[in-house]
Structure 1
Amino acid sequence: MSPLPGIVGALLVLGGCMVGLRLLQRRYHPHPELVRKLMHLCVGATALSFPLLFHDPQPVWWICGVAIAFMLALKYVSPLRALLGGVLDSVDRFSLGDVYFLAGVAVLFTVSGGGLTFTIPMLVLTFADALAALIGVGYGRLRYPAADGVKSLEGSVAFLTVAFVSAHVPLLLSGATGRAESLVIALLIGILVMLLEAISWQGLDNLFIPLGTFVVLNGHLDRPLELLLFHLAAAVTLTALVLLLRRRLGLEGSALLGAAFVAYLCLTLGGWPWLFAPAALLAGYALLAHRSRLPGDIHALVALTSPGLFWLLLAVYGRRPELYYPFTLSFAAQLACAAALALPADPDGRVRPGPLAARVGLAWALVFVPYAVLLGAGGLVPALHGLCVTAVAALLCLALRRARRLSFELQTTLAATASLFGLAPLGA
């Protein structure tokens, strides 16, 4: 059958939903977030029909592309915005969440091909995200800072609960896994995607949630129960640890949850050895750099950890385990810079050489001693090379501070550049 009737029908349904919600908004004046989430429910419910209507992604891209063009017109074409724009843009924050929602649907259908790995992420996006927002607005009392505002603990718990049900029930009914496996996979989806939702900003959760759910689901469907239980225990333990250390780390809200998510990625993608360097960075900030603690927002955490995550993903998916060295070096350089900058300076911006050498040496040891122990004799030369690189990075940070040119962004760029020197001992 031609996909044209399905395309036209889906677009008519979406247009009808928007008109109906605009009429509802004008007559009853409900909370703007309620109207916005009702529209998201309409889009999600329509998208759930796509596997029944289409067998290839092209019609889905046509639907989402036309809808995205219409959403952008609502934002920038004044007459159209006056007519229908209040359905999506009446909340008091800038967001492209509606655009990311439609883009997420199209990308998800393309990578999943429909079926269970499309349905479960769409259920999580459609129902868990909407209910979490509404619970947070209506009943949220325990609030925490997020990247672009505040979120509530009640909303996050609601998200976890609905995401768990959205994954567990389809897994049980489909018979794709055993009962115990479906329970553990659903709990993993609930916890990990809740972390993703909490650390997202400016509507990116509508892109992160479906793709993150797909990655977790697709990566665990065929895993044995013992490994699934290990991953679940790791997710719970790492989240609990960063929450317990929140005062020493200086992280708050979504940045704390982001730290737990990064640690989980390092552990489950790379294995135990890849967890030591990010753990040393967190411990080192608590021990050595508490006077200049970790910047408290998620953007700073992303800047701190993105060089290491780049090396991790390149090592795992490029099958180059030797990139463990620049991965480790990126965290050592970050910690050495922070430790040096935490030292008191004289009026000219100079620090005493003795304490500087001790702090930088200890920062290096926290990261590279586990590295050298793991690699044995073969890790000694790279570890000494790492000491030189981290020391130079710390000295450059101090020099930039004296010149009043240092910023956090420049500091993290310097540490990321230092990690490139980790390729030299590898002969790359």
Structure 2
Amino acid sequence: MNPALQIALALGSVAILLGLMAVVRHYADVWRIGAEVQRKLIHIGTGLYALCLPWLFPDHWPVYFLVVLTLVVMLVLRLPNSRLGGTLHGVERRSYGDLLLAISVGLCLFLAGDQLYLYVLPIAVLTLADAAAALAGTTYGTQFFRVEDGEKSIEGSVVFFVITLLISIVCLLTMTPYAPLNIIVISLMVAAFGTLVEATSWRGFDNLFLPIGLLIFLAVHAASPLPNLIALALLFAISIVAFKAISPKIGLTNHASHVYVTTVFILLAVTAVQNAVIPILVLAAHAWSRSSAPCEGKYPDLDIVAALALISLGWLILGNATEWNAISFYGISAIGMLSALCALAASAQSTVRRIVILSGLAAAIVSIRKVTIDLNPDNTNWNGPMWPMVVANLALAAAIVTLFPQLFARARVTKITIISLVIPLSTYLYSVGFSGLLT
């Protein structure tokens, strides 16, 4: 298929989306369909069409063009008084689900590569299980639990689990060579993991975290031997029980504790333990800073998880796009976040005690970093140990927070994340460009 035809098909795809929205909006007025059902009808239609994209477009670049175009359209529909936009934004809660759905389609296609099931399975779960859970919950839900400033239902979660389990079994049986018993164990974990992610997500973030989380989980573990899969399933179960017992003692809500355990499990499931230590400590440091130096954020526990998830995903995508492993730079970013959060937590201490605490922290971080470097394979350390960058990022984050703590009363996590990314991101881009010139 020539490029002009693929561009025309991408433009036609956007027209189909707008036409679907117009049809749903028209019949919503005629049949008095509620805002939630309207949104889910669009969600289903868009997702089903997205499942066809690998077969509609022989190349990937038109899909990326389509994603960008769709994002522009979605932003326009968010303008005030957009009648078509009401099919997506008529619900009372704030949601970025429409934007994140389009982003997820592009990212899943990019990360899946030539393993088509890594695209089809996550998008199918997002399309069918998520919509079915929402509709079942709003229609038949009687047992509810709190999620941020809204609520979800037990009935919806059960429906999500069952449909995800069926989708996973069908996709793995028809699209992979794995043994049936392995497929059953994988599918049970996919369903359990997906249900927890969907149940704990907020503001439409499940449209991003759910498919990307499933894709990464499958890419890392789908080919594992059966004993390894069973051990991983036990680790998942133990993590949930442990966090359930610990969360009340550190002031976490039920929702926040579920989000934390999901994040910790993802970190342990998709990377080696040594690479997960610092990011997990970031969560612990946030809990410490939240109690010692409260901020004005409405949901700070969710903010730190979202930030950690987004920078993890960002470094993963950047590493895949450039083909230069980014795990060390991700670790340096997490070191900056850990340093800043601990500096905030210690801000109420005397100067001497603060110096002692932060010095001890710096020594511990350097030790963990040294162990991580020694345990990781050579390809992850292609730019060397980068000790100057490690020390610089650690010192910069701690110094800014210590000197200007008042700046972090609002939008704390966003500011800390930006500060922590400046040095590793600039170093990575320079190093990749310089290494590319040499090769």
Q: What TM-score do you get using the length of structure 2 for normalisation?
A: 0.69
User: Is residue 312–residue 330 contact of structure 2 (8 Å, CA) maintained in 1?
Assistant: no
Give the 3 Å change call, closer, same or farther, for CA 73–181 of structure 1 in structure 2: same
**Do 2:220 and 2:270's aligned partners in 1 also have CA atoms closer than 8 Å?**
no
Equivalent pair of 1:312/1:323 in contact (CA under 8 Å): no
Q: Which has the larger radius of gyration?
A: 1
Equivalent residue for 1:337, pick from 313, 325, 343? 343
CA–CA distance in structure 1, aligned partners of residues 393 and 69 of structure 2? 51
User: Residues of 2 paired with 1:176 and 1:315: CA distance?
Assistant: 28
Show the counterpart of 1:347.
none
Q: Distance in 1 between matches of 2:168 and 2:115?
A: 15
The partner residue of 1:400 within 365, 385, 404 is 404
Which residue is equivalent to 1:184? Answer: 185
Whether the 8 Å CA contact 1:397–1:411 is kept in 2: the answer is no
Match of 2:35, as an amino acid?
A: P
Residues 100-137 of structure 1 show CA distances to partners (whole Å, capped at 9, x for unaligned) of 43443355445545843332122111112212322443
* 325-334 vs 263-272, which moves further: 325-334
Match of 1:22 among 6, 21, 25: 25
| Cα distance change of structure 1 residues 266 and 331 upon mapping to structure 2, 3 Å threshold | farther
Partners in 1 of 2:392 and 2:72 — Cα distance?
53
Worse overlay, 32-41 or 133-142: 133-142
Q: Which residue of 2 aligns with 1:119?
A: 120
- Equivalents in 2 of 1:310, 1:24: separation in Å? 40
Contact 2:347-2:354 at 8 Å conserved across structures: no
Q: What's the counterpart of residue 146 of structure 2?
A: 144
Residue number in structure 2 paired with 1:231:
232
Q: Deviation of residue 37 (structure 1)? A: 0.3
Q: How many angstroms does 1:182 deviate by? A: 1.4
Q: Determine helix, strand or coil for the equivalent of 1:333.
A: helix
Task: Give the AA of the match of 1:336.
Answer: C
Question: 1:133/1:362 Cα in 2 relative to 1: closer, same or farther (>3 Å)?
Answer: farther
Shift of residue 38, structure 1, vs aligned partner: 1.4
Asked if the contact 1:277–1:331 (Cα under 8 Å) also holds between the matched residues in 2, the reply is no
Q: Could you list the runs of 5+ residues in structure 1 that have no partner in the other structure? A: 344-350, 377-381, 424-428
Distance 1:290 1:114 in 2: 45
| Residue-by-residue CA offset, 1:132-188 (whole Å, 9 max, x unaligned) | 322443416432333xx3242524454344323221222124453111221232233
Secondary structure of the corresponding residue to residue 146 of structure 2: strand
| 1:135-174 mapped onto 2 (5 Å cutoff) | 135-138=136-139, 139=141, 141-146=143-148, 149-152=149-152, 154=154, 155-174=156-175
Q: Which residue of 2 aligns with 1:34?
A: 37
Alignment of 1:376-387 (within 5 A): none
* Alignment-derived partner of residue 56 in structure 1: 59
> Corresponding residue for 2:302?
298
Question: In structure 2, what is the Cα distance between the partners aligned to 1:306 and 1:57?
Answer: 23
Contact 1:108 1:118 in 2 (8 A): yes
CA distance in 1, matches of 2:312, 2:215: 23
Name the SS of the counterpart of 1:144 in structure 2. Answer: strand
Which residue of the partner structure matches residue 47 of structure 1? 50
C-alpha distance in structure 2 between counterparts of 1:325 and 1:9, whole Å: 42
Provide the rounded CA distance (Å) in 2 between the counterparts of 1:296 and 1:398: 20
CA distance in 2, matches of 1:318, 1:386: 19
Aligned AA for 1:244?
Answer: A
C-alpha displacement of 1:368 = 6.4
| Structure 2 gap segments, 5+ residues each | 375-385, 428-439
Once residues 46 and 389 of structure 1 are traced to their aligned partners in structure 2, the CA distance between those partners, rounded to angstroms, is 44
Alignment-derived partner of residue 210 in structure 1: 211
2:129 aligned with 1:128:
yes
CA 1:94–1:160 in 2, change beyond 3 Å: closer, same or farther? same
CA distance in 2, matches of 1:389, 1:53: 45
1:342 CA displacement = 4.8
Contact 2:274 2:371 (C-alpha < 8 Å) held by counterparts = no
Identity among equivalent pairs (%): 24
* Cα distance in 1 between the residues matched to 2:20 and 2:157: 27
CA distance in 2 between partners of 1:232 and 1:367 (Å)? 30
Q: Is the 8 A contact 1:172 1:182 kept in 2?
A: yes
1:342 and 1:89 mapped to 2: Cα distance?
Answer: 43
Aligned to 1:36, what secondary structure does the other structure show?
A: helix
Shift in alpha-carbon separation, 1:109–1:311, aligned structure 2, 3 A: closer
CA change 1:137–1:250 in 2 (3 A) is farther
Q: 1:334 to 1:247 in 2, by over 3 A?
A: farther
- Pairwise CA distance, 1:41: 1.3
Tell me, in whole angstroms, the C-alpha distance in 1 between the residues paired with 2:80 and 2:310: 37
Residues 1:171 and 1:310: Cα distance change in structure 2 (over 3 Å):
closer
Q: CA deviation at 1:61?
A: 5.6
- The amino acid of 2:230's aligned partner reads L
What RMSD in Å do the two structures reach over aligned CA positions?
4.9
1:171 aligns to what SS in structure 2?
A: helix
Check whether the contact 2:397–2:420 (CA below 8 A) recurs between aligned residues.
Answer: no
| 12-21 vs 163-172, which moves further | 12-21
Alignment map for 1:220-259 (pairs within 5 Å): 220-252=221-253, 255-259=256-260
Indicate whether 1:97 and 2:97 are aligned.
Answer: yes
**CA gap 1:342/1:190 in 2 versus in 1, 3 angstroms:** farther
Q: 1:105 to 1:175 in 2, by over 3 A?
A: closer
Q: CA deviation at 1:240?
A: 3.5
State the alpha-carbon separation in 2 of the partners of residues 69 and 315 from structure 1: 26
Contact 2:10 2:66 in 1 (8 A): yes
